[in-house]
Every structure is written in C-alpha cells, then in structure tokens.
Amino acid sequence: MDLKKKAFLEAYRKAFGNISKACKATNMDRGTFYDWKVKDPEFLSALESIEPDEDFADFVEDALVEKIKDKDTTAIIFACKTKLKKRGYVERQEITGADGKKLFEVKIVDDGN
C-alpha cells in the first residue's frame, strides 16, 4: 500500500473515523477516498479494521483518568457514580406523596393463566 493511503488511514484513526478531517489532514478530497474504497481491496480491508468507536472510547477514558489525577471534582464524582456503584456511589430518587406517604399501591392479580 502506498504512503498516501497509509497516511490517510492513520489520520482517519486519529480523527475517530471522521472522513472530512482525515482528508483535510492528508490534503486530499473525499472523492479520492471513495475511489480508493471501491478500487483497492487492501485499502478497504485496512479501513474496515480500524475501530474508531473503540479508539474514541479509549481517548475519552484516558481524558477522564487525567482529570481524576488532577483531582477534578466533577470527574471524580462521575467516575464514582459509574464505576463504583457496588460501593454505594449511586444516586436514587424516591417519589412519594406528602410526608413520605405512598402515591399508589400495585396489586398483582392472578387470573389463573
């Protein structure tokens, strides 16, 4: 595979699958990209092996970890609520009537089926 295609694939990965950004980074038009997809099975295979959603998820998680390391309160709270539920870091809302009374009661009826 030629260097221009390899450069595009790397730019595509770094842009989390954004074709426009990858084209701009490699100074080429979108038509070239689509032409390569159709005419070059090796390029298409390499393109399909890139997982931009996974790369983005890794990027976001890394950014969150950096914020936590910087002792960013919001990031710490978010991480606790999403990763530490088993330890009790969960917000719950209880919906009740006045003075904590039940709003309604549910009765399950067995119709014999």
Each residue's pLDDT tens digit, 44-89 = 999 999 999 999 999 999 999 999 999 999 999 999 999 998 898 8
State how far the Cα of 42 lies from the Cα of 48, in Å rounded to an integer: 10
Structural domain spans, the chain = 3-50, 54-87
Write b or e for each residue in 22-55: b if 16 or more Cβ atoms lie within 10 A of its Cβ, otherwise e.
bbebbebeeeebeebeeeeeebeebbeeeeeeeb
Mean pLDDT score, 36-42: 96
Q: Which amino acid is at 13?
A: R
State how far the Cα of 68 lies from the Cα of 60, in Å rounded to an integer: 12
